[in-house]
Each structure stands twice: as C-alpha cells, then as structure tokens.
Structure 1
Amino acid sequence: MAKSLLIISRQAPWSGPGAREALDIALAGGAFDLPIGLLFLDDGVFQLAPGQVPATLEQKDLQANLQALPLFGVDSLYAAAHSLAERGLAADALKLPVQVLDADALRQLPQTYDQVITL
C-alpha cells in the first residue's frame, strides 16, 4: 500500500522556491497515485488568493499548477483558519476549494498521514 504524504506549504507564492516546490511535489506524488494532502499554512495561504499578477514581479504564475491539483488526484486541500484570518482572506473567495481547519484540526492532521514535508 502506498504511503500517504502531507505537504505543508508555508511560503507566499513569490517569496522563494518553496511554494513552487510544494506544488511540484504534490503533482508528482499525485501522478504516481500516492495519497497526497496539501496544507496551506502561514503565508502559504497567499497562493490561494485571487487577483495575483506575477508578471509585475517577473515570476511565473502558479495558477496552472494549482488548477492541475485535482486532475492529478490531489483533492485533500486544507488551509489554516488562523492564517486566512490574519491575512484578511475569506475561504469562499479562494482560487480552490479547501477545507478550513481550526487549531485542533491542524494539530490532528499530521497524524493522519504517514509522511510530512514542510516547505
């Protein structure tokens, strides 16, 4: 049986390679039918924010990678409620549907996966 993997993405989309790497790992794991969960935490929730214009920072858009997640079987998407609230983001306005987790659910989530990677 394939081991499950939780990827915790904590970086804003344009602050470094972490956000892109997290999405790449999720897509690669999904391509091999691994059970993948992706948690957007801290500034990582900015990856889900609408209205981003990466060209102004001379960056590639992560939108295509985000939209491909369900196509690769990565359906377990989570966001930390406190991260969204601290950054003024509403769950119903995000680019992808995510399960918003409170503090208790966040503590329990890693125990439901065999491996955890934080980027």
Structure 2
Amino acid sequence: MTELTQTTKSIAIVNTQAPFSSATGKEALDAALIFGSFEQAISLFFIGDGVFQVIGNQNASSLETKDYLKTFSALTFYDIENIYVCQQSLTERNLPANFHVDNIQVLTTAEFSQRLHSHQVIYRF
C-alpha cells in the first residue's frame, strides 16, 4: 500500500478590489478559509483598492448586499495570521491604519513585494 503525503505550500491571496464593487473580495476570503481548513500556509495581501476591505467602521447595509467583512473575524480560527497591507495604497487613498482585522502588518512597497514573492503560489483577486 502506498502512503500519501500531504504537501503544504505557502499560498498568497492578493486582494486588489474594493469590498463591494464586485464579488472578488468575498471570493478571496472564501478561498483563504478553504485553504485554511486544509491547514495550508495562507497569507493575505491587500493592495490598491483592496485596502478598503480591512478598513474599520464600514457599513454595507445601505448597499443592500451581504456584509462579508464580518467573516474576517474567522481568520484566527483557521490560523491565518499573516495579513499584509501596502502602506503606499493607504497613503494614496488617504486612509488611516484603522483596521477591523487583527494582526495586520503595514509594509512598504518593497517589503510588500518581497513578502508576496516568497510564497510558492499566488492568487490574485
């Protein structure tokens, strides 16, 4: 009988879209949770308009859409602790580092790129 071994790959999920402009933000979060449930090494990256996904005090009720941002609180249950935000993206959008997600690290553009490219698999949403 052959024994199967599970290979863990480091996976980066890059968020580039504002939270309610399309379904991509929710899809990225769903993918992270699925990979996390299989104990893969997941890191979340937010750049460009994607930084709006982690900014606190947002209210989606006026948009008549489901507020998936509350699901970010589940990340710790899936051991997803590596969450990175591009400082330049925050600065360009005049956003404070007021996050509704714990463990976020704000990185310079160079640091962001270096961390991102240290992963074996990169998914961009």
Provide TM-score, normalisation by structure 1. Answer: 0.93
SS at match of 1:60: coil
The within-5 A match list for 1:15-26 is: 15-26=21-32
Cα deviation code 1:68-106 (max 9, x no counterpart): 111111100000001111122222x21113111101112
2:100 counterpart of 1:101: no
**2:3 aligns to what?**
none
2:94 counterpart of 1:88: yes
Q: Separation in 2 of the partners of 1:48 and 1:108?
A: 21
Q: Separation in 1 of the partners of 2:113 and 2:69?
A: 28
SS at match of 2:117: helix
Alignment RMSD, CA only? 1.1
Contact persistence 2:12–2:121 (CA under 8 A): yes
Q: Which runs of 5+ in 2 are unaligned?
A: 1-6
2:36 counterpart of 1:36: no
**1:55 aligns to what?**
61
Which residue identity is paired with 1:8?
Answer: V
SS at match of 2:28: helix
Contact persistence 2:84–2:112 (CA under 8 A): no
Question: Which of 71, 76, 80 is the equivalent residue of 2:82?
Answer: 76
4+ long deviations beyond 6 Å: none
Report the structure number with the largest CA radius of gyration. 2
The percent of aligned pairs where both chains have the same amino acid is 35
Offset of residue 107 of structure 1 = 2.0
SS at match of 1:112: coil
Higher helix share: 1
Offset of residue 9 of structure 1 = 0.4
Provide TM-score, normalisation by structure 2. Answer: 0.89
Q: Separation in 2 of the partners of 1:32 and 1:72?
A: 9
2:6 counterpart of 1:14: no
Contact persistence 2:13–2:45 (CA under 8 A): yes
